[in-house]
Amino acid sequence: MQIGIIGLGFVGLSFASVLGSKGYPVIGVDTNPEKIKMISNNKAPFFEPKLDLFLKNSLSKSLIISTNTKDTLKKSDIIFLTIGTPKSKDGYIDLSMLKKAAKDIGNSLKNITQKPIIVIKSTVIPGTTDEIQKIIEKTSGKKNGNGFSILTNPEFLREGSAINDTLKPHLVVIGGSEKNSMEKLKKFYEKLYGKKIKIILTNSQTAEMIKYANNSFLATKISFINQISSLCQNIAGTNVDDIAEAIGIDPRIGSAFLKAGPGYGGSCLPKDLSTMIKFSSKIGAEPILLEAVEKINENQIEKIFQIINKRLGKLKNKQIGILGLSFKEDSDDIRESRSIKLIKILLKEKCKIKVHDPKAITNTKLIFKNKIIYSNSISTIIDKADCIVIMTPWKEYTKLVSNDFKNMKKKLVIDTRRIFSKKKMNIEYIALGIGDN
């Protein structure tokens, strides 16, 4: 069975690399020539653990890289659309790239006899698959279930563990109305993951909504624990991690996604929450809980700023070192990163900012240019700083000990992820969510 994957971002490239490394015949398509050049040279255009290895392996086996949608469509039995659906300026989902691809697919379908299964893997708002179906039907003159078929198959992988998640997903969701194609896609996944893989078959609107419900719930868990963390901050002796551990043992709650911190960032949770809130209003529903989740997330950064402000007093010309720029560890992605938000606030207060990150400095330079100082050495950031803020829990930061901070001007460390033991830090150490500050 020949597979086509259109859009080689995190989801598309991880999926293509895993399938190719298992010997599946795959064509990966992207329209960005620079991306194609890098990928063809065994290099992913972004940092993702294990991806380069899998990419190299798959290119040496059965992955072909192309810019030709029409040719891919002609050859493929199943075409996955993994095209970006970014946040538009008004905070809603931008479906323009997906719609453009649908037109291209429709035009290409006109002249071919093959009947491919087109699978939308991109995150899309309920009703989008129907819309895309209509675009393809209009441009191709063919009907769903006849000249092609269209399904929805949301993806749940996380950045930083994209390969592991693609190798072993917890669930596959298939939405659609065309039973034969749904069965074919189900068989494809059963072959890939084994018969025991949990597969949910439903209609496309429900499949689309499952993805939003999933991300909304994850964001809710994070904002919930951040709310508890803020309460702990004001209750002497309390520790949010002990609370998270205890409530996480209750099987009705579960321990995942209860790590308090500076709030959720990245290209997914913030975008999906804001899209869901806007979508709810459009359909006449009141997204009370989701609005609260978003508000708590936004407030986290303000809370961190208030701690810095309270401890340092006048902020002008104070030297602040930021450890961690990416929205999470094991990633170079700074989209909606809380660090970037904090730096913007501190720059407004005329602080002097020095930053370190093992992977995300190149991306951060594109935003702040020469307004801040970048270093690959943690000790350069620490030396002479008035305050160090730990924003991303990279492994290298966990190895620091109290003595590593000895050359700071004012020995103040604010740890938003609680990576150190407070007992071992004989400097002024404020851990977000530990209530004895």
Closest CA to 262 of 297, 218, 309: 297
| Nearer to ligand UGA (CB atom), residue 148 or residue 264 | 264
DSSP character at residue 116? P
* Contact flag: residue 290 with ligand UGA (CB under 6 A): no
Q: Which range, of 151-159, 197-205, 290-298, 406-414, touches ligand UGA by CB under 6 A?
A: 151-159
* The token pair that represents 398 in the structure block: 């966990």
Residue 148 CB, nearest approach to ligand UGA (Å) = 26
Residue 108 CB, nearest approach to ligand UGA (Å) = 27
Q: What backbone phi and psi angles, to 5 degrees, belong to 356?
A: -135, 145
b/e burial code for range 319-341 (CB count within 10 A of at least 16 → b):
bbbbbbbbbbbbbbbbbbbbbbb
* The token pair that represents 26 in the structure block: 């795959």
Residue 123 CB, nearest approach to ligand UGA (Å) = 5
What are the start-end ranges of the H helices in 24-95?
A: 33-40, 51-61, 69-75
In this chain, which of 101, 173, 210, 269 binds ligand UGA, going by CB under 6 A?
269
In this chain, which of 137, 155, 330, 357 binds ligand UGA, going by CB under 6 A?
155
| Nearer to ligand UGA (CB atom), residue 151 or residue 334 | 334
Contact characters 156-185, ligand UGA, x per CB under 6 A: xxxx--------------------------
In this chain, which of 81, 83, 207, 222 binds ligand UGA, going by CB under 6 A?
222
* Contact flag: residue 264 with ligand UGA (CB under 6 A): yes
* Contact flag: residue 359 with ligand UGA (CB under 6 A): no
* Contact flag: residue 274 with ligand UGA (CB under 6 A): no
Q: What backbone phi and psi angles, to 5 degrees, belong to 170?
A: -85, -15
Residue 331 CB, nearest approach to ligand UGA (Å) = 8
3-state per-residue secondary structure call for 208-257? HHHHHHHHHHHHHHHHHHHHHHHHHHCCCCCEHHHHHHHHHHCCCCCCCC
Q: Which range, of 72-80, 100-108, 141-149, 154-162, touches ligand UGA by CB under 6 A?
A: 154-162
| Nearer to ligand UGA (CB atom), residue 116 or residue 266 | 266
Asked about 268 being catalytic, the answer comes back as: yes
Contact characters 298-337, ligand UGA, x per CB under 6 A: -----------------------------xx---------
Residue 437 CB, nearest approach to ligand UGA (Å) = 20
What are the start-end ranges of the H helices in 250-287?
A: 269-282
DSSP character at residue 403? G
Residue 379 near residue 395, CB atoms below 8 Å: no
* Contact flag: residue 28 with ligand UGA (CB under 6 A): no
Query: Which residues, in sequence order, are CB contacts of 51 under 8 Å at separation 6+?
Result: 13, 14, 17, 44, 162, 163
The residue count for binding ligand UGA (CB under 6 A) is 20
Residue 243 near residue 434, CB atoms below 8 Å: no
Residue 148 near residue 109, CB atoms below 8 Å: yes
Question: Quick check: helix, strand or coil at residue 156?
Answer: coil
Residue 145 CB, nearest approach to ligand UGA (Å) = 29
In terms of DSSP bridges, do strands 199-202 and 319-323 run parallel, antiparallel, or are they unpaired? Answer: unpaired
Touching ligand UGA, residues 98-137 (CB under 6 A): 123
Active site residues: 268
Using CB under 6 A as the criterion, which residues of the chain lie in contact with ligand UGA when the complex forms?
123, 155-159, 215, 218, 222, 257-259, 261, 264-266, 268-269, 327-328
